Structures are given as structure tokens and as C-alpha cells.
Amino acid sequence: MFIVKKKLQLLLLVSFFAMHLSSASQQDYPFKLFARAESGKQMLLAQNNGPAPILVTVNLLNPVNATIDRPSPITVVVPPGETISIATVHITVPGQQYKISSSYKFSVGTPDVVQNPDATYLLPFKDGQEITVGQVLGGKISTHSGLASKYAVDFTVPIGTPIVAARKGKVVDIDQNYSEGGADPLLKANHVLILHEDGTLGLYSHLTQNRIPVTFGQRIEAGELIGYSGNTGYSTGPHLHFVVLSNTRTTDGTAQYLSQPVKFMNDTPAHELELHQYDKLVTHHHASPKVTTFPHPLHWSDSL
Ligand SMILES: [Zn+2]
């Protein structure tokens, strides 16, 4: 799940030479916590080698033979490409072992960003694509009941339908290894996550396995191909789940994604769409090519 990466109650045995934070699970986003010894202290650092800001919450508890310079939970945002200090551990009796139990979790996105009110979105398909609105706010809701999916839209399209970016941004998460789909909330969906310039995130989910032509960190324009629709994850029929998210932190420092309303534009000249469940639409983002006017009426079959 891209949304919250958890490190659950890792008990750290911290020696006086080095402090190791390790994890049993593999993480795909290049973020890590590590410690550096510095004249009788241990500096705990967070390193973000990825393309997105990371919200991290760290708990450092039950110190033995050590003091920590700030209370837990410690919540910070680590900008892309940066390493910042999380806390400093002072060893009470140098030369003796010390212990701290720790856990941390992190998620992609700066908390509490506000979506640009002028931001508009394309329907995330190529021109001329026929789509049906399967699920949208205001219609019968079967799976969009959480805070992260209230404003999500399900577009019913056949497997293999090209998906384009609805808004420009930077690719900050990709998952494309999953093949299974069905009525099981635990199944994982392939997805692409795009960071927009206002800090919101566009999520394109249930994509086809191993058919994502974009790369981690790539900048994408609206209308660019980012993958193909599928039926992976918690999905009972082929569709694209599209939602715009902003990260936020709750009082205990944990991250919670909130879905945001989306202004979809279509047609030429563009106008804002109000989507309703079971609407059938054809995408049309660009002006039609100019039609040459002939001096005498001709059938297309005659002229081309
Ligand atoms: Zn959905």
C-alpha cells in the first residue's frame, strides 16, 4: 500500500558504536532512518532519496541508559533529496549498552496542502474514449466510503484502455507487480501516483500489470500516457479509480489522506463536467483538426 508505510514496533538494541534501524519488510520508496555517532551522542537522521516530500512520524520510547532530546511522537516533513535530523540521543553512562524501542511510519506528501482552486483536470483518457461513470459522489456508493475516497471517481473502461495524466506533475510512486483482482479489500492494486505543483497527489489505480511506461521521478504533462487500465486489487470489474489526495496529520502524528474535489474539463471549448453515476461520456480534450473547405461540396470519400 503506497499510502502509509509502517514500521511496527521494532525493538532496537542500540550499542554504543552504532544504532541500527532495520525492517523486516522491504520498502520501495527510497526513504530511511539511520543513526550517526557524534562525540558521545547518537544523531538520528531521516534520509529521503526519492522525488516527493515525506511525512514521517517516529516514536522513540523506553530509553535505558539514554535520554532523548525531544518527546515522541516526532513528526517532520523531509523534503525530496534531503537528510534531516530527527532527534539526538545522549548516552547516560558512556561505554555501557543502552536501549530504545522505536517505531516509525512515513507517507508521501506534505501535510495540509491546499489544492489550487483554479486547478483543472482532464478526463484521464485519450481523445475519443468512451467511458461510463461507475461510482461517484452523489451516486450509490459501494466502496468510496472512506476519507481518502469520498471524491474518487470510478470510470468503467475495458482492460487495456490507455490512461493519461489528468494533470501535470511528477511521478512519485509506481506499483505494477500485481496481477489479481476481486472483491477482497486486501488485494493490492497497481497504481501510479503523481505529485502536482500545489502538493496534492493524483492516484490512478487498478492498472494492468507491468504496463506502466513512466518512471519514478519523471515529469509528466497532462494528457501523457501513464499506463493501461486493468482490474487489479479490490475491484469487481475493469475500471480506473481516480482520486486527488492531500496528506494530513492527525493529532497523534499519523498520516491520513483526504480526497479532494476535482474539476474535470471536457470538450472544446473546455467546460467543467458535473459527473453523475452511469453517465456515458466521450473524452474530447483538443480542438478538432481544421477541416478544409472545398469550393464545391465533396464527400470525404471523394476528397481523401
Ligand atoms: Zn474506486
What CATH number has the domain bearing residue 46?
2.60.40
pLDDT tier for residue 8 given thresholds of 50, 70 and 90:
very low
What CATH number did the domain enclosing 221 receive? Answer: 2.70.70.10
Task: Answer with the one of 82, 108, 134 that is the final residue of a domain.
Answer: 108
Q: Is residue 18 part of a domain?
A: yes
Residue 193, all three cell numbers? 501516483
Long-range CB contacts for residues 3-7, cutoff 8 Å, separation at least 24: 3/107, 3/108, 3/148, 3/255, 3/257, 4/105, 4/106, 4/107, 4/254, 4/255, 5/29, 5/31, 5/105, 5/106, 5/107, 6/103, 6/105, 7/103, 7/104, 7/105
Ligand 1 geometric centre to CA of 235 (Å): 8
Ligand 1 geometric centre to CA of 1 (Å): 15
Q: Is residue 72 part of a domain?
A: yes
Helix (H) / strand (E) element for 203: namely strand 201-207
- Sequence-distant (≥ 6) Cβ neighbours of residue 150 within 8 angstroms: 137, 144, 259
Task: Answer with the one of 79, 108, 137 that is the final residue of a domain.
Answer: 108
Contact indicator for 208, 163 with CB cutoff of 8 Å? no
Confidence (pLDDT) at 255? 83
- 11 pLDDT above the threshold of 70: no
Q: In this structure, are 125 and 271 located in the same domain?
A: yes
- Residue span of the structural domain in which 241 resides: 121-282
Residues with CB under 5 A from ligand 1 (ion): 154, 241
Ligand 1 geometric centre to CA of 281 (Å): 18
pLDDT tier for residue 20 given thresholds of 50, 70 and 90:
very low
Q: What is the pLDDT of residues 165-189, one digit of tens each?
A: 999 999 999 999 999 999 998 999 9
DSSP-based three-state secondary structure for 247: strand
Q: In this structure, are 73 and 166 located in the same domain?
A: no
Query: Looking at residues 130-159, what average pLDDT do you find?
Result: 95
- 295 pLDDT above the threshold of 50: no
Confidence (pLDDT) at 24? 27
Ligand 1 geometric centre to CA of 36 (Å): 44
Query: 262: closest CA among 281, 243, 276, 249?
Result: 243
Domain count, the chain: 2
Q: In this structure, are 205 and 82 located in the same domain?
A: no
Provide the whole-model pTM.
Answer: 0.84
Q: What is the pLDDT of residues 212-271, one digit of tens each?
A: 999 999 999 999 999 999 999 999 899 999 999 999 988 777 788 999 999 999 988 888
pLDDT tier for residue 288 given thresholds of 50, 70 and 90:
low
pLDDT tier for residue 52 given thresholds of 50, 70 and 90:
very high
Q: What is the pLDDT of residues 61-100, one digit of tens each?
A: 999 999 999 999 999 999 999 999 999 999 898 888 888 8
Q: In this structure, are 132 and 265 located in the same domain?
A: yes
DSSP single-letter state for residue 50? S
SS (H, E, C) 82-100: CEEEEEEEEECCCCCCEEE
DSSP single-letter state for residue 289? P
- 26 pLDDT above the threshold of 60: no
Contact indicator for 173, 192 with CB cutoff of 8 Å? yes
Contact indicator for 110, 52 with CB cutoff of 8 Å? no
* Type of residue numbered 117: P
Ligand 1 geometric centre to CA of 136 (Å): 8
DSSP-based three-state secondary structure for 283: coil
Contact indicator for 82, 64 with CB cutoff of 8 Å? no
Ligand 1 geometric centre to CA of 144 (Å): 6
Q: In this structure, are 135 and 101 located in the same domain?
A: no
- 303 pLDDT above the threshold of 50: no
Q: In this structure, are 24 and 150 located in the same domain?
A: no
Q: Is residue 296 part of a domain?
A: no
- Determine the straight-line distance between the first and last CA of the chain, rounded to whole angstroms: 51
Q: In this structure, are 196 and 218 located in the same domain?
A: yes
Q: What is the mean pLDDT of the chain?
A: 85
Task: Answer with the one of 80, 108, 136 that is the final residue of a domain.
Answer: 108
d(CA 140, CA 159): 23
